[in-house]
Amino acid sequence: RKEVEQDPGPFNVPEGATVAFNCTYSNSASQSFFWYRQDCRKEPKLLMSVYSSGNEDGRFTAQLNRASQYISLLIRDSKLSDSATYLCVVKEYSGGGADGLTFGKGTHLIIQP
Amino acid sequence: DAGITQSPRYKITETGRQVTLMCHQTWSHSYMFWYRQDLGHGLRLIYYSAAADITDKGEVPDGYVVSRSKTENFPLTLESATRSQTSVYFCASSESPYQPQHFGDGTRLSIL
């Protein structure tokens, strides 16, 4: 059974701090990885794709560790607007491909002033 | 830019009624998806479609029917609604199965 596990939190972090959270996946055949952000009662929105070599987008850095089967998200200089739920998404290549998408249940982040 | 739109945004209906949720995308994406999101379960795939007239079951397809006669539309029908189908429903689309998916605003469905 494909599983993606995340610490649900909440993570309560003061504004300006750095916060990191991980996501583990069970299927070693997983090939694509993404972080999505979801605000309360809104749709998930793509935050960033995660590449094997790691990648950065402004204050956000994503890392992939295939050997240990986890991905991470680091947020530097956190802003109040970063408060949201962060969803880890893992995808494997298989046949038609579409059924390989698995969402974690999300990590809830609260940035406090 | 609309991109992908869902209607209605909110719907209240009674058990046993048929209800159809609409999804329309303007990107000409081949792939479209329907998810439901419930507390404690996260997002679960109901059905997906790789192209017009091609659909397949996801993780939780029971009680739902889909069709895709045109690339841009992917309606989801609850043939006889049950209370357990009260949920938030999201439609998504992507250019290929390996690309990120883009989501509509969601439909909040309550079944009394």
d(CA B65, CA B78): 6
CA-to-CA distance for B31 and B28, rounded, in angstroms? Answer: 9
Q: Which two tokens stand for residue A34?
A: 């993404």
Put simply, the answer to whether A34 touches B100 (Cβ < 8 Å) is yes
pLDDT at A107 over 60: yes
Q: How far is B38 from chain A (nearest CA, A)?
A: 10
**Mean pLDDT computed over B75-99:** 94
Q: Which residue of A has its CA nearest to B32?
A: A98
Chain B CB contacts of A62 below 8 Å = none
Cβ of residue B61 closer than 8 Å to a chain A Cβ: no
Q: Is B33 on the interface with A (CB under 8 A)?
A: yes
Confidence band, pLDDT 50/70/90 cuts, at residue A60: very high
Closest by CA position to B11, among listed B98, B101, B76: B76
For chain A, give the mean pLDDT.
Answer: 90
Summarised one tens digit per residue, pLDDT across range A34-50 is 999 999 889 999 999 99
Q: Is the pLDDT of residue B43 over 80?
A: yes
- Confidence band for A61, pLDDT divided at 50, 70 and 90: very high
Q: Indicate if the pLDDT at residue A24 is higher than 90.
A: yes
State the residue for tokens 């159809």. Answer: B20
Q: Tell me the average pLDDT across B47-65.
A: 93
DSSP letters of B3-66?
-EEEE-SEEEE-TT--EEEEEEESS--SEEEEEEEETTTEEEEEEEEEETTEEEE-S--TTEEE
Please answer yes or no on whether B103 and A44 come within 8 Å at the CB atom.
yes
pLDDT-based confidence at residue A100 (cuts at 50, 70, 90): low
pLDDT at A1: 55
Which residues of chain A are at the B interface, by a Cβ-Cβ cutoff of 8 Å? 31-32, 34, 41-46, 49, 87, 91, 93, 96-101, 103-106
How many contacts (CB atoms, under 8 Å) link A and B?
A: 54
Query: Hey, is the C-beta of B42 within 8 angstroms of any chain A C-beta?
Result: yes
pLDDT of residue A71: 95
Report percent pLDDT > 90 for chain B. Answer: 87
Tokens 């990191």 sit at which residue? A20
CA distance A80 to A15: 6
Residue A82 in 3-state DSSP?
A: helix
